[in-house]
Amino acid sequence: MITESEPIAIPRHNRTASCDRRTTAPFGLAVGSAGSAHSGSYLHQPATSLNDYELKGVIGKSRAFIGSSCSRVSSGFILLLLVGYGSSAVVYSALFLPQQRRFAIKMIDLDIFERKQIDELRRETALMALSHHENVLPVYTSFVSSSKLCIVTPYLSGGSCVDIMKTAFPDGLDETCIATILKQALEGLAYLHKNGHIHRDIKAGNLLMDEDGTIVLSDFGVSSSLIETGERNARRTFVGTPCWMAPEVMEQAAQDYKVDIWSFGITAIELATGQAPFAKLPPLKVLLMTLSNDPPTLPRETSTHSYSRLFKEMVDACLNKDPCKRPSAEKLLLHPFFKQARKKDHLVKTILVGLPPLELRPRKKIQRHEISLSTPTEDVWDFGDHDPKKDTASSPPKRHITFGEVVVR
């Protein structure tokens, strides 16, 4: 049983037919340590509502999954199913009892981090909470329960794009669906860049799909603000996931927004073929291939799909080894490839309609590779699957922060 913390308030809202699915609502933000609170306005998005029959069903499943009784993380919240984990964080679907609505809660173990790392974590959480865009995952609130930092976000029932592909589209998606997904992701990315932030871990596993076909960027654990003390500074840290990593990141050269554009191009190939280039190679081999070979390119023909010249040209523009020659996110949105993007309900009709619920999808353990070349004085942020049960008390504390692959899988 997790120690109960101070109660938090989740504002009520009404679903509307408006295109803008979010409204501004106040939340208390408590991060770093219990009792440290910051006030502000945070974006609001409809969460999954449950009728009485569904409520009994999910509570029953959660009892079987977690134990004899549901774990209570805060007044009004009970944890349901585990939907993702990493070495320092686990992600649950959670039920907010006063409204019988489901959310996602990422729980990060603060005991394994130093004070400097916790301060950085607080800044990253604040970044997520202050993001006001339909295609960027919002943070509703965060609080400390015992030694766990709990971050409350929407429960996106579609799951991540990589989870969707592994469940029903192992050979990749068709071009129209890819354009529809990537355009939404690129709009969220353009918003982040406009506000001085780089994501640094763009990949299909961090593109989440809601039940209405909305795509949101998630996992800002490695995201890095370029604006500090009023100045934009180039970063030289080595973080991210190797297959999606830009060459200048591997070389620890100066980095800017263009590292996300490279990762965006790799993600486009991933959505088309079912996996990123070099996905089956060990991490150091990925580094060697990325730095020494020509950039990856999109195959026009695969075993199940054919792709257009415009699609290949868009990918090639993203995967230029010279970051100065890559387009900005705003400029890339003007590429003719995105003219074929449909409204988001197209994703519901073509992708989500035949998928089983998130809880019933097969869950195969996928090996993730991580690399950290930071100095002892730097904090590194990366993602990856790691089973915390395999850790031992004698294991040395990690100098980097590893999150689960997605908020909701």
Which residues are part of the catalytic machinery? 201
What is the C-alpha to C-alpha distance for residues 237 and 250, in angstroms, rounded to an integer? 9
Residue 287 gets the label, from left (phi > 0), alpha (psi -120 to 50) or beta, of alpha
Q: Which long-range contacts (CB under 8 A, 24 or more apart) does 248-254 make?
A: 248/323, 249/200, 250/287, 250/290, 250/291, 251/291, 252/373
> Helix 309-318 and helix 258-273: axis angle, to 10°?
140
| CA distances from residue 85 to 73, 149, 324 in whole angstroms, order as listed | 17, 14, 36
169 CB neighbour count, 10 Å cutoff: 18
Contact between 208 and 159 (Cβ < 8 Å): yes
What is the C-alpha to C-alpha distance for residues 283 and 314, in angstroms, rounded to an integer? 26
106 labelled ligand-binding: yes
> Helix 175-194 and helix 309-318: axis angle, to 10°?
30
Contact between 48 and 57 (Cβ < 8 Å): no
Annotated binding-site residues read: 106
Annotated binding-site residues for ATP read: 106
